[in-house]
Amino acid sequence: MYEIPQDKETQEEMLATVRSSVEQLRGVAGFSVVDTEAPGSAIEPHGGIQEDVRLDKVLIRMRASSLDAYGGKLIIACTKPEQEWRIARLSSVRGKAVTFVDDRVFGDEQDAQAEIFRMRLEEFPAEDGMPENFHQGYKRPGADNWGPV
């Protein structure tokens, strides 16, 4: 099992890789943590999750977290189409509105993605996702997450 790194040096290395990918792939649809042959190109991916197994596993763990983990899953909300994005938290109750985490407004969706990664590194404990903490998931029997909308 891969743990979420808690030492600042490893966290900074991972964050630098994510930010490098943001710079290389700025303007390309979607969000991937890779390096490519030329900025803005999706040809010949290398580096990032292609070479750093630990970063790949950490990203998978973070993306697969339950909706109610650590105060709610962080997402990007587009507040003005193709102009402004903000970071928000999902509620674990279906139909409940998202809650913005702060007043920051991003002019680029990829910058917001990199900031979410940084925030998750701070929030997630090392043991997140370990087998002893496993549960069946969002729609598990007895879960009260289908409240009134």
* Distance of alpha carbon 112 from alpha carbon 76, whole angstroms: 7
Write the pLDDT tens digit of every residue in 98-134. Answer: 999 999 999 988 899 899 999 999 988 887 767 666 6
Per domain, the residue ranges of the chain are 8-127
Q: What is the pTM of this model?
A: 0.76
pLDDT-derived band at 21 (thresholds 50, 70, 90) equals confident
Phi-psi region for residue 17, left (φ > 0), alpha (ψ -120 to 50) or beta? alpha
